[in-house]
Amino acid sequence: MQSDFQAVKIRIHAGRFFVSLFLSQEMDQIQLLDKTFVPYLTEAEIQATVKSLAARINFDYAGQEVVFLSILNGSFMFTSDLMKHITLPCEISFIKVSSYVGTQTSGRVDELIGLTDSLRDKHVLVVEDIVDTGITMDKILTLLRKQQTASLEVCSILFKKIAFQGKHAPKYYGYEIPDKFVVGYGLDYLQHGRNLPAIYQLKTEK
């Protein structure tokens, strides 16, 4: 009697285990608006990579003061994690790039919003979430070069090298990724998914 009861209990536990395993695998998928995303880089992997990027930066800039220029919105999470491991004397500024149609000219004008202090003769490291085609970064660097910095480099967590058409590849990057759309860790799909601590890839239909 007793052993029958125990066998039933074991079966119930085993059943629960498989149901929860199934559910957790299902839950690994993320639904953002009309799109489904699947896991790509875990939080632990990202954290380890961010730590090693910071170690390289600490080594390369030893003895120098650095201005970290974080490009909003996408790089808020990466910047926050990276800076916790930076041991150099440093400043951190957050900027945005905006494009607008100038009133006097018909062309598009790019400007950096939030840059208040001069960067002249400073070592500047631009922190970005992803360099994809590189067009955005080329614009940012063109604007920053006018400031006559002592040095100017880019650090991004992701680099879509295969899609890259820009002039300036990031000196520091966490991962080279294929030309697939990703979200999480600051990156968004229509402003959603930035809060996810891991990185997810768009699910391709089979």
Q: Which stretch in 8-16, 18-26, 48-56, 176-184 sits in contact with ligand IMP by CB under 6 A?
A: 176-184
Q: Where are the beta strands (DSSP E) in 56-101?
A: 66-71, 90-101
User: Which residue in 66, 77, 131, 140 binds ligand IMP (CB under 6 A)?
Assistant: 131
Work out how close the CB of 201 gets to ligand IMP at its nearest, in angstroms, rounded to a whole number. 9
* Backbone torsions φ then ψ of 127, nearest 5 degrees: -110, 120
Choose between 74 and 134: whose C-beta lies nearer to Mg ion: 74
Query: Binding of ligand IMP at residue 133 (CB under 6 A)?
Result: yes
Cα–Cα distance list, 92 to 96, 125, 145, 176 (Å): 14, 10, 18, 25
- Give residue 29's Cα distance to chain centre: 19
Task: Out of 46, 57, 70, 74, name the contact with Mg ion by CB under 5 A.
Answer: 74
Residue 126 and residue 115 in contact, taking contact as beta carbons nearer than 8 Å: no
Whether the CB-CB separation of 36 and 30 falls below 8 Å is answered with yes
Q: For residue 132, state whether it binds ligand IMP (rule: CB under 6 A).
A: yes
Calpha distance 193→206 (Å, rounded) = 23
Considering the complex, what minimum distance in angstroms separates the CB of residue 194 from ligand IMP? Answer: 9
The stretch among 43-51, 107-115, 141-149, 180-188 that binds ligand IMP (CB under 6 A) is: 180-188
Residue 121, Ramachandran bin (φ over 0: left; ψ between -120 and 50: alpha; else beta): left
Stretch that binds ligand IMP, among 29-37, 85-93, 100-108, 133-141 (CB under 6 A): 133-141
Q: Give the residues lining the site for ligand IMP (CB under 6 A).
A: 74, 128-137, 181-183, 187-188
